[in-house]
Structure 1
Amino acid sequence: MARNSKRIRGLTRSLVMIILAAFIMIAGCSSNSNNGGNSDATGQPSGGPEKAVTVAISADPGIDQLDAGAYKGAMSVHAMIYDGLVEYGEKGSILPALAESWDISEDGKVYTFHLRHGVKFSDGTDFNAAAVKFSFERWMNDPANSLNVAAALQSIDVIDDHTLTMTFNKTYYPFLTELSFARPVRIISPSAVEPAGAVTGKFVKAVGTGAWMAESYKTDQEAVLVRNPYYWGEAPKLSKIILKVIPDPQSRVLALQSGAADIAGGQPGKLPVESVPVIESDSSLSLQKAPGTNSHFLIFNYNTPALQDLNVRKAINLAINKKSIIDDLLDGIGSEAKGLFPLTVPYVTDQNNTWYGFDPDEAKQLLAEAGYSDSNGDGIVEKNGTPLELSFVLQQAEFPEWKSVSELIQSELKAIGIAVNLQILEPNAYYDALWTTKAYDLIMYRTYDDAYNPHAFLLSLFHKTAEAPAVAWSDAELESFIDTAVGSTDLLVRQKAYDSIFGRLYEEAMFGALYFPDEVMAVNKRVKGFKPGYTTFTPVFWNQLDIGEE
């Protein structure tokens, strides 16, 4: 009996030693992790539940071609995987990102960037000034790149591992703004190409310093992003984001209602306006609205004789009930346009953001002053025997609501004596009419978004090039104001120039203002920490999202 008790005590001691050794081994493995022993390979606390959300997107994100220096793949995913030197903040403020600070020479042509220390790419390789130079040299000489930061960049020089200079051939204040874009200015690891480090190397996989990295990808189905274990900033609260491709807008709404998707909307996967009441009535979903940075408006063809008359352009603006567009057609998703850009855009203020109201009687009076009258009683005014009849071009593939908006405008212009013939075109034909043939009198269009406004849009549509006149409206005085604005390093001079730009647009009624749309997203209430981003390529502050119970 004593012998058996001794044997049992021996077995017990052996079992204790085995268990103790197992704990020591587990602790040793944990202490060797990349996150100080508190997290697994994705940055998720060890033993904690996986936190994932599913985002419904409209198109394949192109993970296999998500080269930081190219224009392929989803911009929103570019911004999740790759960081830039700087980041676009609220109302165009420029914030530090991979560059902690920067200096600009007095003539505005030399930028010195001071880079963060201790940053690594998602494969563990070091981020440094040489990696920035490598990234930029892959695209800066590409003739297809229209960015000023590319065309004007003369040299990029590495001073040391954490300092570099960029020298430009002109003064242009939006250089920093362009460096915040989602592509192609973001930084990719030299290890992401073959052969590694070769500027002309073939892109192999997306390797960035951003908070997220690709785990898996099925073309036209889904992409799974997980946390970058080497991320230099505050770690995301989620461990995984699943991007599910759902091309049909109504199907995205159904996915939200069924729980197959947690988030949808914004540029990654727009929601149909008519579905807003459905989402608002669903107790499991919340509708998130935020003022957008673009506007929808009418371009006037300055080659159309009738539209060369300022009174006619003013009359068209005064005849359009912009409040009715918002209230009756868009379910309150947006606001009346009071200029070319909303207040969310840099340099737009309450003082310079003004436009024509709704006054059909004044519109009729202006047409009469321009020499138009309805001599035969058919409801359409004429001048010198020619009826005031305009072709109105639009497309609805990208913006389904444009059809109902255009029909309302057609009705309101008819009420003041202008006949409007609607032409709904397929996107290719629509853009051909806009950019090439100018086969329209009126065409509905939208401004660019966030970091591209106001400078890039004004240069693109309201400023001539060496090859062609301005796209939207040609005016030498307006162009001189634009040149002053983009070429000044003085903030006060820029603001004064933009005040003059917006004033000139108003005085000459160079376009037809319509509405400023809101950015709309639907979010499952189990998702916490939702906050809309400041750009369309970062529609959500992804790193702040979390999962919680109601």
Structure 2
Amino acid sequence: MGLIAACLCLTMIFSGCVTRSQPDPSGTPTQNPGTGSQFVSPGIVDTIHLAGGDYGYPTPFQHYPRGPGSFKMNLIFDALVEKDDKGIVPWLAEKWDIGADGKEYTFYLRKNVKWQDREDFTADDVKFSIEYVTAHPPVSGADLSAIESVTVIDDHTIKMTLSQPIAPFIYQLYSFKIIPEHIWSDVSDPNTYSAPEAVIGTGPYKLAEYSKEHGTYKFVANENFWGPTPRVKNIEFVPVSDSLVSFQQNEIDFTGLSPDTIDMFKSDPGVYVFQQPAIWGYELSFNENKNSILKDKAVRQAFAYAIDRDELVEKVGRGAGKPGSMGILPQDHIWYNENIPQYEHDANKAKQVLADAGWKDSDGDGIMDKNGKKLSFTLILASGEARIGELVKERLKEAGIDVTIQAVESKSRDTKLKQGDFEIAINGYGGWGGDADYLRTKFCGTNFGMQGASHGRPLIGYQNDEVDKLALEQLKETDTEKRKQIIYKLQEVLAEDVPSVPLYYTASYEAYRPTVYDGWMNMFDHHEVTHSKLSYLDRTEIAWV
């Protein structure tokens, strides 16, 4: 539902304000494969329990880069804008103006906002935060490198001037969390700063407890929060060995489900089951810097033909998902281009593509080049992705491509990806529903001062002049429809060139008990309702004007 409505976001980005009727407080989930019973909101609840796990100290600089870490931090720290199920909405900035040249942004900040230690929030904090995170990049913050100057006009007005028009600039500001100048101005190393003051923000929740050893967190409602009333007084993340079992035993109030466990709740009127959009995905990445054979487009296309992505959906995702698109953007993305090469599974077609490029089929010994070198790769993956790796290996073998699997712990896999210590790798992550500018951060070889993603340049070694041209054109195009057409063309070029292979996008099932809490809501571009700050707030109090 939120994905379709996200079309509004791209209009909102340039309007500076949002007009909206009050959202449905029951949130995004709308379909129950079980009884379909309707529930009445219990209003404010005392405590909800969610599955724990250590994702780092929830400051912008010390949480772990995986999604659950950033969204725990997001409960404490606010940005100028926020996301609901329809798009980008005003938050610490109640409105903004954009200059005719697309480079000047004037933000009008909310008044009477307090930090959690009762100090006043002002425009000086915003300016300081920009300067501080530029000098000390946070774990997963916004790309602010295009900001040329920042001018504080008064306590509640600030102007940012960009070096060039940046179409998704407002969208990017969601990831820019404001920190208090009076605390951080004397902190020289934010990566080691773990004092209690490090988790003081303006957000709706305060950190009450954190145990790295046990992976537990307790967040308590901020009694002085400037915005909508928190509907949950306490959010506790507790250790569980099996989320589903813990949910059945009422130890936690929300759980993910596999398709084969949905039937367990069909006759339970107290459990609400729903399916998320398919915007969390697995990808097979190529590192052309590590193995120059991967610079051959025919080899990459052969991977796309050889891997049976529908099989991955059925056998790994148990039918809950969609096959990867070679245009990178998933089918549930608002700007997905359906008119791109689909690369239906065909081992013979993979062999033919290689043969046309000069590779030889050695009749049982695999594909070799003219010098007799075998087409062989080492595949890095996390141990939890072993089944994906096995199926990928089997299908590639049918096409004459030999793969050796190296399974490691997930954090080790992430480190290898970051350092470029791999030939090919499987990685799963969210964000596939985000602004399409991520195609630039992943694949553009000319960043013009814009940062690339950790799983993209420069480690991937990929270079395509047309991709660079289109990626930079869409970045500067402030006309939404024109930008969309550029993104469509960019998907076509990427689908032809296959810089990576999206394997499949998951469409997970999740369950909760509405009699405990029913306020869950998707962000328009994200797959997990528990990650949404607005999920925990009384959205009937929100009226964007």
**Greater Rg, structure 1 or structure 2?**
1
Distance 1:231 1:430, change over 3 A: closer
Moved more, 216-225 or 407-416: 216-225
Q: Name the CA distance, whole Å, in 2 between partners of 1:333 and 1:451.
A: 17
What displacement does 1:364 show? Answer: 3.5
> How do residues 150-549 of structure 1 correspond to structure 2 at under 5 angstroms?
150-181=144-175, 185-190=176-181, 204-221=197-214, 222-246=216-240, 248=241, 250=242, 252-265=243-256, 276=261, 283=268, 285-302=271-288, 304=291, 306-338=293-325, 339-345=327-333, 348-351=335-338, 355-375=342-362, 377-378=363-364, 380-384=366-370, 386=372, 388-397=374-383, 400=384, 402-427=385-410, 430-431=413-414, 433-437=416-420, 439-440=422-423, 442-446=424-428, 449=431, 453-456=435-438, 458-463=440-445, 469=458, 471=460, 473-526=462-515, 527-534=517-524, 535=526, 539-540=531-532, 541-543=534-536
Letter in 1 for 2:252: A
Q: Name the CA distance, whole Å, in 2 between partners of 1:144 and 1:191.
A: 18
Matching residue within 83, 99, 106 for 2:78: 83
How much is the aligned-residue C-alpha RMSD, in angstroms?
3.7
**Contact residue 337 and residue 491 of structure 2 kept, 8 A:** no
Q: Which residue of 1 aligns with 2:111?
A: 117
Of all paired residues, the percent bearing the same amino acid is 25
Distance 1:318 1:520, change over 3 A: same
Mark the runs of 5 or more structure 2 residues left unpaired by the alignment.
Answer: 1-42, 540-545
Q: What is the TM-score with the length of structure 2 in the denominator?
A: 0.75
**Contact residue 48 and residue 236 of structure 2 kept, 8 A:** yes
Q: Deviations over 1:409-465 (max 9, x none)?
A: 21112223322222224456544554445542x322346516865324532444256
Matching residue within 107, 125, 128 for 2:122: 128
Q: Name the CA distance, whole Å, in 2 between partners of 1:345 and 1:429.
A: 30
**Contact residue 381 and residue 425 of structure 2 kept, 8 A:** no
User: How many corresponding residue pairs?
Assistant: 474
Q: Deviations over 1:155-179 (max 9, x none)?
A: 3222223211112333322322221
Mark the runs of 5 or more structure 1 residues left unpaired by the alignment.
Answer: 1-47, 266-270
Q: Deviations over 1:261-298 (max 9, x none)?
A: 11245xxxxx7x59855865794654442114343222
**Contact residue 328 and residue 495 of structure 2 kept, 8 A:** no
> How do residues 22-37 of structure 1 correspond to structure 2 at under 5 angstroms?
none
What displacement does 1:61 show? Answer: 5.1
Distance 1:109 1:208, change over 3 A: same
**Contact residue 289 and residue 519 of structure 1 kept, 8 A:** yes
What's the secondary structure of 1:180's corresponding residue? Answer: helix
What displacement does 1:519 show? Answer: 4.5
**Contact residue 216 and residue 225 of structure 1 kept, 8 A:** yes
Q: Name the CA distance, whole Å, in 2 between partners of 1:152 and 1:487.
A: 11
Q: Deviations over 1:207-231 (max 9, x none)?
A: 3332222344455443322222233
Q: Name the CA distance, whole Å, in 1 between partners of 2:186 and 2:416.
A: 44
Q: What is the TM-score with the length of structure 1 in the denominator?
A: 0.74
Q: Which residue of 2 aligns with 1:4?
A: none
Work out which structure has the larger RCO, using CA pairs closer than 8 Å and 6 or more positions apart in sequence: 2
Letter in 2 for 1:109: K
Q: Name the CA distance, whole Å, in 2 between partners of 1:336 and 1:86.
A: 32
Q: Name the CA distance, whole Å, in 1 between partners of 2:468 and 2:428.
A: 20
Distance 1:258 1:472, change over 3 A: farther
